[in-house]
Amino acid sequence: MDKPKQEIVIASANAPELNSRRDFMKKTGAILGAAGIMSMVPMGTRSAAWAAGSDAPELKEVNVGFIPLTDCASVVLASVMKFDEKYGIKINVSKEASWAAVRDKMVNGELHAAHVLYGLVYGVHLGIGGQKKDMSVLMTLNNNGQAITLSNQLKDKGATTGATLKKLVDSEKRDYTFAQTFPTGTHAMWLYYWLASYDINPLSDVKTITVPPPQMVANMRIGNMDGFCVGEPWNNRAIYDKIGFTAATTQDIWKDHPEKVLGCTAEFAQKYPNTARALIMAVLEASKYIDDMANRRKVAEIIADKSYVNCPVDVIDQRLAGKYEDGLGKKWNDPNYMKFCNDGAVNFPYLSDGMWFLTQHKRWGLLKEDPDYLAVAKQINRIDLYKQAASQVKVAVPKDVMRTSKLIDGTVWDGKDPKKYAASFKVRA
C-alpha cells in the first residue's frame, strides 16, 4: 500500500482549495478503494474524479457578457459548441453595448462574468472613475490581435508609421484626435504606449476620446478621428471599407500581450468556486478548439453572425488566420496572430500581466499613488481556481507567476519592480 498512500498525499495537497473537506474525505475513500488501479491512471484523468462528484457547480446557468469583437470567440464557442454542458453548466452569452454596461452588470449581478478588458477589471477593483468593487480575473482569454489604425487622410499627409506621424504632429499644428475603447482598458494603454514610444504624449500632444468598438469605423468615416486602437475585426474592417490602414499591430507593441480576460466580481468567485471552475474549463476547451488552425474558418463563421460580432466572415477570418495586410500594400503571415490557448501560455493569469496595467494606470495619472502592485494582482488574479481548472482539461500551467516581456521601446517588464518601472517612462501624464 506504500505507493497508493503517496498518491493520496498528492490529492490532499489540493484539498484546501476544494470547497469542502467532507467531499475530499469521501473521495479519498474512493481513491483508497481503487488505489491499485488508480495508481496506474495518469494524473490528469485521476484528478478529474473530484470534479465529477459533489464539486458540481452551484449554479446551473451562468450569464456571461461580451462585446462584439473577434476575441469574444472562446466565450461564444463555449456556449455554441456546448463545451459548457460537459462541465455541468449552461452559459448564456449576452451581447453588451458598452464596457460601462459590462462593468455595471457584473457589479450588480446581472452578469456573472464577462469577456472584458484586462485593465478595466483592475480599474474597477481600485475604483478608478468612481465605482469601486472587488473584482477577480479567472483567466486570460487571448493574446495579440488588436491594432492601431490611422485614417487615409493621414496617409495622404505622409504619416504611415509612428515616426512619420510624430513628424506630422510636430510640423502641422492642429487638433489630432485618437480613439480607444475605455479609459482604463487595454486599447487605451496600447495606444498611449505606442504614441509615447514615438515621443507623442497621448494626453497633451493629441486629444483622446473613447468610442465603442463597433462604432470606430463609422466614426473615422465621418472624420471624427485621425486614428484609433481597437480589437479585430474593426481594424481590418477599416481597410475593407477603404477609410484607414494598420500602422501597427498590438503584437508589434508587445508580442503575446495579455488582452481580454474572463472577469467577474470577487464575490462571485468566492461564493461559487465550482461554477467558476466549470466556466474556466468550458472556456479553456473552447480556447483549445479555436487554436487548432483547421477550425478557424468555422470559428469565424460562427462569430460573424448578427447575434455576435455582426461583421462579414471574410473580414474576421483573414486576421484570425494570421493573414495580414496593412492597407498600404504590404501582406504578411503574422506568427503572432490572435492566440486563445497556446497550450495554456495565453490563459494563465500571470501576476506580472495584471501589474503591468497598474503601472500604466499610474503612468497616465489614472492612479494618483502607487498601489501595492503585487498585493492587488494577487487579490484579483485567481491563480488557484485557474490551476485547478487547467489541470483538469490538461492545459499546461507555467511554473512562474511572472513572465518577462520586451516591449516596442526596448524596455523589459518582468514584474519585479513595478514602482520603479511605472516611474521610468519619460513620456507620462
Partner 1 sequence: MKRILIIDDVRDRAAWLKASLELAEFDVVGILAWEQVDERSIQAASADVIIVDANAPGRDTLEQISLMSTTLEKPVVVLGAQKDQQSIQEAMRAGVSAYVSHAVQSEDLSGIINVAAARFLEHKRLRDELKEAKSQLVERKLVDRAKGILMADHGYSEPEAYKRMRNMAMSKGKRLSEIAEAIIFAKELSA
Binding mask 78-97 for partner 1 (x = CB under 8 A): -------------------x
Q: Does 182 bind partner 1 (CB under 8 A)?
A: yes
Q: In what order do the strands lie in the sheet with 177-180?
A: 207-210, 177-180, 227-231, 146-151, 244-249
Residue with cell 490602414: 245
Q: How far is CA 242 from the centre of its chain?
A: 29
Which three cell numbers mark 181?
A: 475603447
Binding mask 208-247 for partner 1 (x = CB under 8 A): xxxxx-xx--------------------------------
Stretch that binds partner 1, among 39-47, 121-129, 150-158, 292-300 (CB under 8 A): 121-129
Q: Does 298 bind partner 1 (CB under 8 A)?
A: no
CB of 131 to partner 1, least distance (A): 4
What is the secondary structure of 76-132 as a DSSP string? HHHHHTTHHHHTT-EEEEEE-S-HHHHHHHHHTTS-SEEEEEHHHHHHHHHTTTS--
Pick from 149, 160, 181, 236: which binds partner 1 (CB under 8 A)?
Answer: 181
Q: Does 266 bind partner 1 (CB under 8 A)?
A: no
CB of 359 to partner 1, least distance (A): 18
Q: Does 101 bind partner 1 (CB under 8 A)?
A: yes
With respect to partner 1, which residue has the nearer C-beta, 121 or 211?
211
Is residue 392 within 8 Å of 52, Cβ to Cβ? no
E strands along 284-401, which residues? Answer: 323-325, 331-333
**DSSP code, position 177:** E
CB of 182 to partner 1, least distance (A): 6
Crossing angle (nearest 10°) for helices 99-107 and 118-126: 50
Q: Please report, as residue ranges, which positions from 129 to 168 form the binding site for partner 1 (by CB under 8 A).
A: 129-133
Pick from 82, 86, 90, 105: which binds partner 1 (CB under 8 A)?
Answer: 105
**How far apart are alpha carbons 149 and 248 in whole angstroms?**
7
Give the residues lining the site for partner 1 (CB under 8 A): 97-101, 104-105, 107-110, 127-133, 181-183, 203, 208-212, 214-215, 366, 369
